[in-house]
Amino acid sequence: MDTFIRVDASVEIGTGHVMRCLTLAHRLKKAEKYVAFICRDAEGQCIKLIEQQGFEVFILPNSGGSLWDFISNYWEKDAQETINILKKYNVERLIIDHYSIDIKWEKLVRPFVNEIMVIDDLANRKHDCDILLDQNFYLDMDTRYEGLVPSSTKMLLGPSYALLRDEFIEAKKYIKPFNGRVERLFIFFGGSDPTNETERVLKVIIPILEKYDLNVDVVVGDSNLNKKQIKELVLAYDRIHYHCQINNIAELMAKADLAIGAAGATIWERAFLGLPSIVIAVAKNQVEVAKAVSSTGAIIYLGVSNEVIYNQVLINIDLLYNDSAELGHMRKCCENLIS
């Protein structure tokens, strides 16, 4: 019996959906399951990355333009192209991680699979699914999917179900001991970083590196369209270490005292490692999560990227640099959030 995963990545969508699906795929593979991906070709897709990790990828043709708009408007075409692949196999489970797919698409595909699992965090559309996974923290977590899924759906809700790669489990054994000081920063805004937060944050941090005696690890994905200029920006600074499409991101997080990043899936990776963070939302769907997590004390949320005054990054670095008690409190809140 086979498992298929319908997921996409692009410059517009980002890589987060694919990365969390890869984590799940590796777990299924360990259980001796055949796992394959179905992805549409697009600028910034992760097809090669998926194949490099040992999974077969069935490629749907490039739609041109926005993937979200294409699948929303031509969902029947996308569903039929998926069915053409699925009907050749004995599919035990279809896993869907896609904001443009809803109950209409799922009902069309349902006859060709035994079980449907949906990974979601928007709670803005109906699903025909047997399992729903939402790893995010919300103040209304227990009720937000009421009326959107069948009553029989198995609900896996909250950070305790976070899809963490094995490297994070291992890295937790080697977390830098807390000494009350901010000595090393970790900067990562996802694989594609479409709003170029990485470069913006670096430009405000560079002038204070010597003042605060800071070292910085900055990570970008291969699909980041600004990676070359970011690399050139940091070349002259010995204190800044540039990393592109790496496999040891958990190791870097474990060495850090403070992170600056988005409110996507990495928010749970940072929390799991007890890493306080300054967070900027880079997409609308990240805002609710960021506000909810901020209310727990685990992060400092600055707002949506196009509204952020970047001097606030410096103000909060200064705050935590001079207040070890607050830094320690944030670490504890991270641990409480995903224990």
Question: d(Cα 278, Cα 286) in Å, to the nearest integer?
Answer: 14
Residue 243's pLDDT is 98
3-state DSSP helix/strand/coil % of the chain, to nearest 5? 40, 20, 40
**What's the pTM value of the predicted model, to 2 decimals?**
0.87
CA nearest neighbour of 159 among 48, 306, 20, 56:
20
pLDDT in tens, 126-164: 999 999 999 999 989 999 999 999 999 999 999 999 999
Residue 11's pLDDT is 86
* Structural domains in the chain plus CATH codes: 2-163 (3.40.50.11190), 167-337 (3.40.50.2000)
pLDDT in tens, 41-73: 999 999 999 999 999 999 999 988 888 899 999
pLDDT at 33 over 90: no
Pick the residue with more confidence: 283 or 313?
313
Strand pairing of 154-157 and 184-188?
unpaired
Residue 32's pLDDT is 86
Tell me, rounded to whole angstroms, the distance of Cα 116 from its chain centroid: 22
Residue 64's pLDDT is 87
Provide mean pLDDT across the span 234-257.
96
Q: What percent of the chain has pLDDT over 90?
A: 90
Pick the residue with more confidence: 285 or 154?
154
Question: d(Cα 82, Cα 35) in Å, to the nearest integer?
Answer: 15
